[in-house]
A and B are shown apart, each in its own frame.
Chain A
Amino acid sequence: MRLLWSPKLFPSFVFILVGALAITPVAFLILGSLSTSSILIDINPAKMGLANYIEVYSSPSTYKVITNTIVYVTGTVLFSLIAGMAFAWIVARTDLPFKYGIFLMITMSIAMPSLLQAMAWVLLLSPRMGYINQYFTMWWGRPLYNIYSMPSMIFLEGLRMIPAVMLLMWPLLRKLPASLEETARICGAKSHTVIRRILLPLLMPGLIGVSLYIGISVMGVFEIPGIIGLPARIFVFSTRIYAEVLAADTANYGTASALSMVFLVVLVVGTLLYLRTIREIRRFEVVTGKGYQPKEVKLGKWTKRILLSVVAFYLFVTVIAPTVTLLWTSFTPYPMPPSWDAWNRLSLEGWRTLAAYQELGRTVSNTMIVSVVASVAVIALSFSVAYVLLRSTVPFKKWLDLLAFSPHAVPGVIMGISLVWVSLQADKVLPFNLYGTIWPIALGFTILFLPFGTRAMTAGLMQLHREMEEAGGICGASKLVVFCKITFPLLVPTFTIIFIWTFGHVFRMTGLPLMLFSSEQDQVIGVMLWYMWDSGGNFHAVSALGIVLIGFLLIMGLLLMMLQKRVSIAGEPI
Chain B
Amino acid sequence: MLRVENLRKIYTTDTGAVEAVKGVSFQLQPGEFYTLLGPSGCGKTTTLRCVAGLEEPNGGEIYLGDRAVFSAAQRINEPSHKRDVGMVFQSYAIWPHMSVFDNVAFPLTYGRRRVSKKEIKERVLKSLELVQMDGMESRPAPLLSGGQQQRVALARALVYEPKMLLLDEPLSNLDAKLRTEMRLELKSLVERLGLSTLYVTHDQIEALSMSDRIGVMHGGSIIQEGTARDIYLSPQSQFIATFIGSINVFTGQVVNREKDGDMGLVRSGGTQLTCSLPKEIKVGDDVDIGVRPEVIEVFSERPEAKENIFEGIVEQSTFIGDALECKVRCGDNLFQARAASFIDLKRDDRVFLHFPPARCLAILLKGEDATLSSASSTNLEHSAP
Q: Which residues of chain A have a CB within 8 Å of any CB of chain B?
A: 1-4, 7, 393, 395, 465, 467-468, 470-479, 481, 485-486, 489-490
- Residues of chain A contacted by B192 (CB below 8 angstroms): none
A269 to B90, CA, bound (A): 43
**Residue numbers in A under 8 Å from B87 (CB-CB):** 471, 474
User: What are 13 contact pairs spanning A and B, CB under 8 A?
Assistant: A1-B76, A2-B77, A4-B77, A467-B93, A468-B93, A470-B52, A473-B81, A474-B85, A476-B81, A476-B82, A476-B84, A476-B110, A477-B111
Determine if B106 and A477 form an interchain contact, defined as CB atoms under 8 angstroms apart: yes
Indicate whether B156 reaches chain A with its CB closer than 8 angstroms: yes
A57 to B171, CA, bound (A): 69
With the chains together, A474 CA to B95 CA distance in Å? 14
* Residues of A close to B96: CB separation below 8 A: 490
Other-chain contact of A474, B12, B76, B86, B90 (Cβ < 8 Å): B86
Q: Is the CB of A475 within 8 A of B111?
A: yes
Pick from B12, B77, B157, B160: contact of A395, CB under 8 Å: B12
Given contacts A467-B93, A481-B110, A486-B95, are A4 and B160 in contact (CB under 8 A)? no
Within the complex, what minimum Cβ distance (angstroms) separates A393 from chain B? 7
Q: Which of B12, B76, B93, B113 contacts A476 (CB 8 A)?
A: B113
What are the residues of chain B within 8 A of A471 when measuring CB–CB? Answer: 87, 89, 93, 95, 153, 156
Instruction: Establish whether residues B90 and A467, one from each chain, have CB atoms under 8 Å apart when the complex forms.
Output: yes
| Chain B residue nearest in CB terms to A485 | B110
Flag whether B118 is at the interface (Cβ < 8 A): no
Q: Which residue of the partner chain B has the closest CB to A474? A: B87
Q: Are A475 and B12 in contact (CB under 8 A)?
A: no
Measured CB to CB, the closest approach of chain B to A77, in angstroms, equals 34
Closest-by-CB residue of A relative to B49 is A470
B372 at the interface (CB under 8 A from A): no
A-chain residues with CB within 8 Å of residue B212 when the two chains form the complex: none
Q: Which residues of chain B come closer than 8 Å to A473, judged between CB atoms?
A: 53-54, 79-81
Nearest Cβ on chain B to A103's Cβ, whole angstroms: 27
Given contacts A470-B80, A474-B87, A485-B106, 11 further A-B pairs with CB under 8 A are A2-B78, A7-B56, A395-B12, A465-B93, A470-B89, A471-B95, A474-B85, A475-B160, A476-B113, A477-B81, A477-B107
- 3 smallest beta-carbon distances between A and B, as pairs: A476-B111, A475-B107, A471-B93
CB-CB under 8 A from B79, the residues of chain A are 2, 473, 479
Contact of B12 among A7, A393, A490 (CB under 8 A): A393
Residues of chain A with a CB closer than 8 A to B157's CB: 474
- Can you name the residue of chain B whose Cβ is closest to the Cβ of A465? B91
A477-B110 in contact given A2-B79, A465-B91, A471-B87 (Cβ < 8 Å): yes
Q: How far is the CB of A387 from chain B (nearest CB, A)?
A: 16
Cα distance, A470 to B55, chains bound together (Å): 11
What is the CB-to-nearest-CB distance from B350 to chain A, in angstroms, rounded to a whole number?
46
A4-B75, A475-B156 in contact; A467/B56 too (CB < 8 A)?
no
CB-nearest residue of chain A relative to B96? A490
Binary interface profile of B, 149-160, with partner A (CB < 8 Å = 1, else 0)?
Answer: 000010011001
Q: Residues of A contacting B93 with CB < 8 Å? A: 465, 467-468, 470-471
Q: Cβ of A478 and Cβ of B76 under 8 Å apart?
A: no
Q: How far is the CA of A474 from the CA of B81 in the complex (A)?
A: 5
Is B112 an interface residue, CB under 8 A from the partner? Answer: yes
Name B residues whose Cβ lies closer than 8 Å to a Cβ of A: 11-12, 52-54, 56, 75-87, 89-91, 93, 95-97, 106-107, 110-113, 153, 156-157, 160, 166
Q: How far is the CB of B52 from chain A (nearest CB, A)?
A: 6
Which of chain A's residues have a CB closer than 8 A to the CB of B89?
467, 470-471
Shortest Cβ distance from B90 into A: residue: A467
| Chain B nearest CB, measured from A34 CB (Å) | 38
Chain B residues with Cβ below 8 Å from A477 are: 81, 106-107, 110-111
Contact of A1 among B75, B83, B95, B166 (CB under 8 A): B75
Least CB distance, A5 to chain B, in whole angstroms? 10
Give A413 to B96 CA distance when docked, in angstroms: 44
Q: How far is the CB of B85 from chain A (nearest CB, A)?
A: 7
CA distance A104 to B277 in the complex (A): 75
> Within the complex, what minimum Cβ distance (angstroms) separates B379 from chain A?
42
Q: How far is the CA of A473 from the CA of B90 in the complex (A)?
A: 16
Interfacial chain B residues near A3, Cβ < 8 Å:
75
* Residues in B whose Cβ lies below 8 Å from that of A4: 56, 75, 77
The residue among A467, A474, A477 with the most chain B CB atoms within 10 A of its own CB is: A474
Q: Which of A1, A473, A485, A489 has the most CB of B within 10 A?
A: A473
Give CA–CA (A485, B12) in the complex, Å: 31
Find out whether the CB atom of B75 lies under 8 angstroms from the CB atom of A474: no
- Chain B residues in 8 Å Cβ range of A470: 52, 54, 80, 89, 93
Nearest CB in chain B to that of A481: its residue: B110
Question: How close is B324's CB to chain A, nearest CB, in angstroms?
Answer: 37
Q: Roughly how many angstroms separate A1 CA and B82 CA in the complex, as a whole number?
A: 11
Q: Which residues of B contact A472 (CB under 8 A)?
A: 81, 106, 110
CA distance A489 to B84 in the complex (A): 25
Complex formed: what's the CA distance from A92 to B77 in Å? 53
Shortest Cβ distance from residue A491 to the other chain B in the assembled complex, whole angstroms: 10
Report B115 CB to chain A, min CB distance, Å. Answer: 12
CB closest residue in chain B, given A492: B97
Please indicate the chain B residues that have their CB under 8 angstroms from the CB of A490 in the complex: 95-97
Given the complex of chains A and B, what is the CA–CA distance between A465 and B54 in angstroms?
Answer: 14
Instruction: Tell me the minimal C-beta distance from A169 to chain B in angstroms.
Output: 31
Chain A residues contacting B54 (CB-CB under 8 Å) are 470, 473-474
When C-beta atoms are compared, the residue in chain A nearest to B82 turns out to be A476
Contact B81 A478 (CB under 8 A): yes
Q: How far is the CA of A280 from the CA of B156 in the complex (A)?
A: 43
Measured CB to CB, the nearest residue on chain A to B107 is: A475
> Which residues of B sit under 8 angstroms from A474, Cβ to Cβ?
52, 54, 80-81, 83, 85-87, 157, 166
CA distance in complex: A4, B97 (Å): 34
Q: Which residues of A contact B112 (CB under 8 A)?
A: 476
In the complex, the chain B residue whose C-beta lies closest to that of A488 is B97
> Which residues of A sit under 8 angstroms from B91, Cβ to Cβ?
465, 467
CA A486 to CA B109, docked complex, whole Å: 13
In the complex, residue of chain A having the shortest beta-carbon distance to the beta carbon of B72: A4
A490 to B96, CA, bound (A): 8
Given the complex of chains A and B, what is the CA–CA distance between A372 and B374 in angstroms?
A: 69
Query: Given the complex, which residues of B lie within 8 Å of A478, measured CB to CB?
Result: 81
Write out the residue numbers on chain B whose beta carbons fall within 8 Å of the beta carbon of A475: 81, 106-107, 110-111, 156, 160
Can you name the residue of chain B whose Cβ is closest to the Cβ of A489? B97
B78 nearest in chain A by CB position: A2
Instruction: Please determine whether A393 and B95 come into contact, CB atoms closer than 8 angstroms.
Output: no
Check A476–B95 contact: CB distance below 8 A.
Answer: no
Q: Nearest-CB distance from B239 to chain A (Å)?
A: 30
Contacting residues, chain A, for B110 (C-beta < 8 A): 472, 475-477, 481, 485
- Rounded to whole Å, the gap between the CB of A225 and the closest CB of chain B is 43
Complex CA–CA separation, A470 to B157 (angstroms): 13
Q: How far is the CA of A7 from the CA of B83 in the complex (A)?
A: 18
Give Cα A468 to B93, complex, Å: 5
Q: CA of A478 to CA of B82 in the docked complex: distance in angstroms?
A: 9
A2 to B157, CA, bound (A): 25
How many angstroms between the C-alpha atoms of A470 and B53 in the bound complex? 10
Roughly how many angstroms separate A1 CA and B75 CA in the complex, as a whole number?
A: 8
Q: How far is the CB of B264 from chain A (nearest CB, A)?
A: 51
The CA of A377 and the CA of B346, in the complex, are separated in Å by: 74
Q: Which residues of B contact A465 (CB under 8 A)?
A: 91, 93
Q: What are the residues of chain A within 8 A of B77 when measuring CB–CB?
A: 2, 4
Give complex CA distance A472, B56 in Å.
17
Residue of B nearest to A2 (CB): B77
Name the residue on B nearest A477 (C-beta): B110
Give A473 to B86 CA distance when docked, in angstroms.
10
How many angstroms between the C-alpha atoms of A474 and B103 in the bound complex?
Answer: 13
| A478 and B89 alpha carbons, distance in the complex (Å) | 19
Nearest-CB distance from B27 to chain A (Å)? 22
Nearest CB in chain A: distance from B58 CB, A: 10
- What is the CA–CA distance of A465 and B11 in the complex, to the nearest angstrom? 20
Q: Which one of B86, B106, B113 has the highest number of Cβ atoms from chain A below 10 Å of its Cβ? A: B106
